[in-house]
A = this chain, B = another copy of it.
């Protein structure tokens, strides 16, 4: 009895090892540039997305979230947790994986690790925004916070914005050293700093990517001079901010998705009607990004589901076109859909 459908489509599977292999083959900078291309395509068709609120299951020690999003072509969701106490037992605070599906058939196409991929898409998002918001002659990037995201940010800005000098600061000297070691072979001048005040000296772009979950003031208004672009990505949930409110009031603020950023972004400190610009309008040319060399611009980034969608779409096209990858046999396909029992009783191959 032929109960197995030979057309049974499998799911492409990107393990952590496979992500490492692809990344090292392509190069982190080119991988990020690839995602940027997909991000610009997807932000440009912003209205076609069904932008649902994330689903969150809270427990005493953490949260498990599902972040779904889709348009008329593809659907994706990311599974991501947040359990600060995990580090005490040698586990990660945050791990993530995601699925990309074909809307036309409802079939999943790709299952991918997203712990590394989220860092890549976050850097890709930052650099895409900076293309529209930073001065074209930007040469110096200051990084406040040398954690998990820092090297990806640095590499993206070196490659796509022509950054020649990177200034590093973290409250933990070990983190600065780690970041320096990961970047030292790149074609960039690296300056190690001992305070936030020092690191922002002469910076054209200031990236804040600190991890403390509190309303911190990492960057005050008096530290930021005219013409600077601030890439603020560490303040990304209620009660977690990095910028002084006065700085936000003084600058032009650009965001991903207003309903989400009002709750999660640095602008949670401002009134509900404070002026902001959603970046898809800038990308589409409907609104201005930077308009003068004196303007202070801020990208108040929180991470939005479309960015996961773009990243998964990029990886899927990559493995469909160039890279071989494992296939998961996760979808039962009886040749006669009504004979599922017959399929269940077929000997496994």
Contacts and interface: CB of A to CB of B under 8 A. Distances in A.
Interface of A: 5, 7, 9, 13, 15-21, 23-24, 28, 50, 52, 55, 57, 59-64, 66, 68, 70, 72, 75, 77, 79, 81-83, 86-87, 89-93, 95, 97, 99, 101, 103-108, 111, 113, 115-116, 119, 146-152, 175, 178, 182, 328-334, 336-349
Contact of A93 (B72, B95, B337): B337
A105 B90 contact: no
B75 A151 contact: no
B332 A113 contact: yes
B79 A108 contact: yes
Given A16-B329, A81-B107, 18 more contacts: A7-B90, A15-B330, A17-B329, A19-B332, A24-B347, A28-B341, A28-B344, A28-B345, A55-B55, A59-B104, A62-B105, A63-B106, A83-B106, A91-B105, A92-B332, A92-B337, A113-B331, A148-B341
A182 B92 contact: no
Nearest to A97: B330
Nearest to A95: B331
A105 B79 contact: no
B113 A330 contact: yes
23 contacts: A13-B328, A15-B328, A15-B330, A16-B332, A17-B349, A20-B344, A28-B344, A28-B345, A55-B55, A60-B72, A61-B104, A62-B106, A64-B101, A64-B106, A82-B106, A89-B105, A91-B107, A92-B332, A95-B107, A111-B330, A119-B344, A147-B338, A178-B336
B344 A19 contact: yes
Contacts of A108: 79, 97
Name the prevailing secondary structure of the A interface residues.
mixed
A125 B19 CA distance: 40
Which one of A82, A97, A106, A348 has the highest number of Cβ atoms from chain B below 10 Å of its Cβ? A106
Contacts of A15: 328-330
A57 B338 CA distance: 25
